[in-house]
A = this chain, B = another copy of it.
Amino acid sequence: MTTRFEFSIQARDGAARTGTIAMARGTIRTPAFMPVGTAATVKAMRASEVRAAGADIILGNTYHLMLRPGAERVARLGGLHDFMGWSGPILTDSGGYQVMSLSTLTKRSEEGVAFASHLDGSKHMVTPERSIEIQRLLGSDIVMAFDELVALPAERPVVEAAMQRSMRWAARSRTAFDALGDTGAIFGIQQGGLDERLRAESAAALTGIGFHGYAIGGLAVGEGQEAMFGVLDYATAQLPAEAPRYLMGVGKPDDIVGAVRRGVDMFDCVLPTRSGRNGQAFTRDGPVNLRNAKHAEDKAPLDPGCACPVCNGPSRAYLHHLTKAGEMLGAMLLTEHNIWFYQQLMADLRAAIAEGRLEAFAEGFLARYRQG
């Protein structure tokens, strides 16, 4: 698969943009939401159902896949696309976040991170070079640079040191990526916590190295929406205007609306899938907890205005029953609805930007969503 990565901005509305990223395996409409396929499956959904919901690209987790089934094994099986039956683009994270949040006995050094698997305690080492190699073995279309996680709040020197190490690792990631030949795209990840000067320094370092796209990392780790938006108010403008900007691990529907207004082009989050397994559905009138007894005899669909197969079928009463009974079908249907909801939200945002009415759409969406 040779590199094809053409980001075309078709319209702007304030800081927001809408466009497409043309890649060899397909075109990604932006702003885009990437469903998370942690262990080579978007949980409780067939790949064909993810596609039918409107997703152009999904995300795979390097940490999970390197441990099970293993990157070399996935490569021998023809890569992640064949393995899981998803023919569109796949973005893989670098594994850094999960290594530092899920594994045990982590030891960080300039070389990389040594850790023990959360599955079986086996010992592993991930370096920028190994992360890129794993992502290539998986067959990733968009590879992420390996970076160092800092949990917020943290002292400025800690944040600064981690950012600077992440920039050295970004350069090593790019070098390792280039050594593998003309294959796919690579994104750098801006760090610097909530500090504007550190964010600027990080953006400059990444731009100096040069990437196909730029992620905004180190957010959505508990700092709150206001603080996150505070960073986005300057962070997007620090990154190259002609490249896609990806806000990692975000988020709630209102987070996404606010981030799009601030110039973000790509998102991923486990929220729609995880919520679906926990009985929570997203609707234009806010989140709905299907476990609530008030739905027990409600014949109405989940969201009458939603185009998804679930809202064209079972009642809230049935979804309530399935959820209360712990039936797998409840998780399947709520996950499907939630992924459709997120994809419809992205389509609405794209249309609003294209038509120069993003502010009105966003205000209307948020007023209704928060009142629900």
Contacts and interface: CB of A to CB of B under 8 A. Distances in A.
Given A328-B328, A332-B46, A332-B332, A40 B73 contact: no
A332 B328 contact: yes
Q: A-B pairs with the 4 shortest C-beta distances? A: A44-B328, A41-B329, A69-B321, A39-B325
Interface of A: 39-41, 43-46, 68-69, 73, 76-78, 83-85, 277, 296-297, 299, 313-315, 317-318, 321-322, 324-325, 327-329, 331-333
A237 to B, nearest CB: 40
A40 B76 contact: no
B296 A69 contact: yes
A184 B191 CA distance: 68
B299 A78 contact: yes
Given A45-B329, A77-B297, A78-B299, 16 more contacts: A39-B327, A40-B322, A41-B327, A41-B329, A44-B328, A44-B332, A69-B296, A69-B321, A73-B296, A73-B297, A77-B299, A83-B314, A83-B315, A84-B314, A84-B318, A328-B328
Nearest to A84: B318
B68 A324 contact: yes
Number of copies: 2
Q: Of A76, A77, A297, which is in contact with the most chain B CB atoms at under 10 Å from its CB?
A: A77
B317 A83 contact: yes
B43 A328 contact: yes
B73 A329 contact: no
A218 to B, nearest CB: 28
A318 B68 contact: no
A334 to B, nearest CB: 12
Nearest to A333: B46
B41 A297 contact: no
A329 B83 contact: no
A327 B43 contact: yes
A318 B83 contact: yes
A46 B83 CA distance: 24
Nearest to A331: B328
A358 to B, nearest CB: 36
Nearest to A310: B46
Contact of A44 (B41, B73, B318, B329): B329
B41 A313 contact: no
Given A69-B296, A296-B69, A77 B315 contact: yes
Contact of A68 (B41, B78, B314, B325): B325
A186 to B, nearest CB: 26
